[in-house]
Structure 1
């Protein structure tokens, strides 16, 4: 029995689905707990904001939710997890945060629990994929006959978000690549670094979700919710296709970074080569001026009228001698 307290803490939205009518009804923002008690031949979907500290106490009042599920729904841990137990599936999925006026590439976390007639999702920050799930549910509610169908849609929307990010990152890499392989040499590592960081995080979290789905699909049949086996197969195929694209993007970014390092290293070597040649040409004249700058007696050309000119001639001759030696050695 739910508490007699009427408010639903942290409510972002709530839907009740009627399987017979194949429709859904969104509860008003001021919905009470009593509105959740009538389901008929359908199920409920609650989406809650964990910023409200009362959410944990509210979820504990659901008799169908074990303590482990409540803990998974209210945790602030930042790693993906999927657990199957007694016909329920719960855990944490990765998503991307959304600001009020724009979508970001910051990682966010969606906690979920799927029961026979109940789906609960919780989050701390607004997320990109879950909003599109809500819009799809409202557009065609007849497609979703059980909570596992919405779970599949959540992961599918995450996959579509990954595809859009891959397209964005590919365009950024194209622009960087045009500069790197252009005629001029520019240091594009500052632009490339955030792209590589995003791709690495995408690949890491995507591989984790794939591994979790494969492990869940290999669980005993009595541990799975009805229909999860087929859902896991479809979602694994979807995510594997995106994983291939993300891996290719990661490899491409790594090669670009190596090319930038190679070009910058070549440019640095060229500058050092020029400085070495300048040093080689200036060292002999420096020896000449050092010799004639000694305050000793009987220096050559000290008594003649053209001593300075002869000293300059020796300096020029030393430069020519240095050039001849470098040319003979094959350095020039």
Structure 2
């Protein structure tokens, strides 16, 4: 039995649904037909035979709260739609579901088909939703990538037989973005690993730091979605007949696989960063070793030059014709003597 609008809701000072970004009607076969939201009132959203509606609201519109108050949905669902809550959650009460999902912010002008992976400046947003057997209401404050992808799909050949199915499609689009981004990061990590193994280290530390930051951006919202879906599945019996339970089970399986992939990327990047740090430390040690050897070999000639530069009476070779040659030979001999001593001690041997 369809829910009725709140009888205590104030009378609408406007016509239609002014806060609606779009309104679709789905027939019995799941085909979508767009409606003019400016000409449809809340009464047009009542469930009809073998069909349902999808209403998408802009929460940045001040009139959205009044529109939500007139929708034929439970009070808890109304509260979830207009709440400023930014925590992922999912609730099911009788035949009505409501909650908040995380999604990627949609950048205007980005071709979703050609650019499915995340960019460096893509942030996260929050999708508020309420679903009854005959109505799906979604609301957001920023344009969301997965919702936009679902809308374009429904405007094409994609079909959705129920509000729960459309909600699953939106979550699947979120997972698609994570999967494509994860694959792209894996390819980048493979290239960095090849350069590290070839001992061709340049900007790998910077590249790995950026890559690890991007994997964290993927992992955090994915973990939030996965945790909430797991908790939802645990709160409800496995033999429940509601369509949302089977959808959550499918999403859980996919998110588990994605979480494993992203976790593997994080571990590979961390280990590779440790290897790069070890190689750079080894290279630095080699340079310091060379500098130390040069310093040790030049110390005795410096001592000889310091002694003969004191300009005091009684210095050897001071009045000889070949005094300079003898001093240079003495300095060179002292360097050779130090080198042989270091070799005997094992310091000058190559590692």
**Matched residue, 1:161:** 177
- Is residue 17–residue 39 contact of structure 1 (8 Å, CA) maintained in 2? no
**Matched residue, 1:18:** 27
Total equivalences in the alignment: 327
Secondary structure of the 1:265 match is helix
1:85 aligns with 2:93: yes
Divergent runs of 4+, >6 A = none
| The one of 183, 186, 207 aligned to 2:223 | 207
1:288 aligns with 2:297: no
Closer, same or farther in 2 for the Cα pair 1:53/1:312, shift >3 Å? farther
Secondary structure of the 2:177 match is helix
- Is residue 36–residue 44 contact of structure 1 (8 Å, CA) maintained in 2? no
1:304 aligns with 2:313: no
CA offsets 1:64-120 (integer angstroms, 9 cap, x no match): 242x43443334554422233344322222222222233544233322222232211
TM-superposed CA distance for 1:191, in Å, is: 1.5
**Matched residue, 1:328:** 344
- Is residue 18–residue 39 contact of structure 1 (8 Å, CA) maintained in 2? no
Q: What is the root-mean-square deviation of aligned Cα atoms in Å?
A: 2.5
Alpha-carbon distance in 2 for matches of 1:133, 1:172: 29
TM-superposed CA distance for 1:299, in Å, is: 2.1
Closer, same or farther in 2 for the Cα pair 1:29/1:273, shift >3 Å? farther
Alpha-carbon distance in 2 for matches of 1:207, 1:43: 32
Closer, same or farther in 2 for the Cα pair 1:31/1:290, shift >3 Å? farther
- Is residue 52–residue 163 contact of structure 2 (8 Å, CA) maintained in 1? yes
Which consecutive unaligned segments of at least 5 residues does structure 1 have?
none
Alpha-carbon distance in 1 for matches of 2:89, 2:244: 16
TM-superposed CA distance for 1:59, in Å, is: 1.4
Which consecutive unaligned segments of at least 5 residues does structure 2 have?
6-10
- Is residue 6–residue 34 contact of structure 1 (8 Å, CA) maintained in 2? no
The normalised TM-score by structure 1 is 0.88
1:235 aligns with 2:244: no
| The one of 134, 139, 153 aligned to 2:156 | 139
| The one of 92, 97, 116 aligned to 2:105 | 97
Alpha-carbon distance in 2 for matches of 1:305, 1:90: 103
Alpha-carbon distance in 1 for matches of 2:192, 2:315: 62
1:45 aligns with 2:54: yes
- Is residue 17–residue 42 contact of structure 2 (8 Å, CA) maintained in 1? no
TM-superposed CA distance for 1:279, in Å, is: 0.9
- Is residue 12–residue 66 contact of structure 2 (8 Å, CA) maintained in 1? no
- Is residue 90–residue 98 contact of structure 2 (8 Å, CA) maintained in 1? yes
1:185 aligns with 2:201: yes
Alpha-carbon distance in 1 for matches of 2:322, 2:30: 111
**Matched residue, 2:130:** 113
**Matched residue, 2:141:** 124
Closer, same or farther in 2 for the Cα pair 1:117/1:256, shift >3 Å? same
- Is residue 189–residue 257 contact of structure 1 (8 Å, CA) maintained in 2? yes
Closer, same or farther in 2 for the Cα pair 1:288/1:144, shift >3 Å? same
**Matched residue, 1:171:** 187
Alpha-carbon distance in 1 for matches of 2:86, 2:195: 37
**Matched residue, 1:244:** 260
The normalised TM-score by structure 2 is 0.84
